[in-house]
A and B are shown apart, each in its own frame.
Chain A
């Protein structure tokens, strides 16, 4: 929500007032990503006001980021660093739709001698002000981030990537409607060992790595998972048609992952898997928007960028 101009009883640094001379406070969302069970925001602060910088370093003030999701009644405050990027992790199951981000600098304690050389002395002279704990010292306009965390996920989103330091090989779980572990309900969960997950996270989040590589990662992880998922749904349809009621114990239909895949297949004209001649792999590639083609092309582009190999001269 954009901060509106408010009349404060003390000088506040923001874009609406002239309380401060030649000073600035703003934030930048350097990156936001969606990994496993959390949303990760990388926030960078820009503060140009030596007086307030000193207050923060002395512990009299602190920089905070308030994140609000009106839809899920989520409202929480995170402390931000002054000199480096702050990482904020928000559990995905607490938010949806749109996040409001608002950064502020607030008094960390009661402070009776709030008087900075950067004040606009035409307004305030050398008047010191009292600050109570929590009083706003600076704020910025605010940012909105739209999420695609919805109950029915787009295709890549029905597969969650998680980490378990206790395992040494990859594990995959396809939730059934009877799933009781709350970490595994509703989705396909690929659990990676520590080392692989660390590299996966870097490939997803680091600027110098992630551009042009997302489709390749989907091809490596998501495509095989969706291929196997379609196989399981085909089997379930077969069992439903050929086994008597009560004897079929497999039950994927009703989970978010199964319903989302079946809906995507219907959008491609596949209403009945048992009648469809395409293979599981072909169907998975289709509903992932030809991820095979994209990932081969992306890989080629990356290799061309990195390597010094030139194309052979046709004349030679």
Chain B
């Protein structure tokens, strides 16, 4: 299929009328054609020249563990299909992801991001913006591609290139805590941190989300203020992060 993207006008209209259209998002009936005809827009999306395999995203349950397992599988499915076709320049376009959420993957978005009250944060999950936060962890579909892009390990293409992605989705909080930091734009740093987390998780038998957050939020940030992390190798960063987290575990065993 050709990847689609909204026109700028279509995106603006949808954003503006989000509240008025809220119930439409939950309806099984297609509503976009009628809506755009009403607002006077003949063409609301375009097909790009990027052709990708059709992807069926999975949703098998609503508990946290199942969501994490499904997210991992969906990252593998989507990123594998789009990997050699989409570059970061194109993947930073909110019009692309917003269109995919509204049209191609609408059912998945509704099922995956349904809260306890049955509602979905439509503004966050169906729409993307140019901000990193939106692209890497809020928008329902772009977060899958960007998680794949930032963690897929080409060096292990023949064995397990997803080993870092598996650690990323071992708990839901890890993705947000890591991608909240600007240093996570550097894949070498991401590799070092996730490798360190994996070691600590294996030694402690739990997800270690709290110490990972503290490591990213305060220690690595402060370390990065006096030292340029980008000049260090993944192994060096892994050592720094691992030693810090291990010290935290010793002083505060319950994490």
Chain A min CB distance to B49 (Å): 5
From known contacts A72-B89, A75-B185, A94-B89, infer whether A186 and B232 are also in contact, taking CB-CB under 8 Å: no
Q: What DSSP secondary structure best describes chain A's contact surface?
A: loop
From known contacts A93-B87, A93-B88, infer whether A71 and B232 are also in contact, taking CB-CB under 8 Å: no
Q: Which residues of chain B are within 8 angstroms of A124 by Cβ–Cβ distance? A: none
- Judge whether B228 and A94 touch: CB under 8 Å: no
Interface presence of B124 (CB below 8 A): no
Interface presence of B48 (CB below 8 A): yes
From known contacts A70-B132, A151-B90, infer whether A132 and B227 are also in contact, taking CB-CB under 8 Å: yes
- Judge whether A74 and B49 touch: CB under 8 Å: no
Interface presence of B23 (CB below 8 A): no
Interface presence of B92 (CB below 8 A): yes
- Judge whether B49 and A8 touch: CB under 8 Å: no
- Judge whether B130 and A106 touch: CB under 8 Å: no
Tell me the complex Cα distance, A75–B188, Å: 10
Chain A residue nearest in CB terms to B150? A73
From known contacts A73-B185, A185-B49, infer whether A64 and B227 are also in contact, taking CB-CB under 8 Å: no
Tell me the complex Cα distance, A92–B90, Å: 11
Q: Which residues of chain A are within 8 angstroms of B150 by Cβ–Cβ distance? A: 73
Interface presence of B84 (CB below 8 A): yes
Chain A min CB distance to B19 (Å): 28
Chain A residue nearest in CB terms to B184? A73
Interface presence of A175 (CB below 8 A): yes
Interface presence of B186 (CB below 8 A): yes
- Judge whether A136 and B186 touch: CB under 8 Å: no
Interchain CB contact (< 8 A) of A136 among B93, B226, B232: B226
Q: Which residues of chain B are within 8 angstroms of A92 by Cβ–Cβ distance? A: 89
For residues 68 through 125 of chain A, which have their beta carbon under 8 Å from a beta carbon of chain B?
Answer: 68, 70-77, 92-97, 104, 106
Interface presence of A202 (CB below 8 A): no
Q: Which residues of chain B are within 8 angstroms of A96 by Cβ–Cβ distance? A: 89, 92
Interface presence of B146 (CB below 8 A): yes
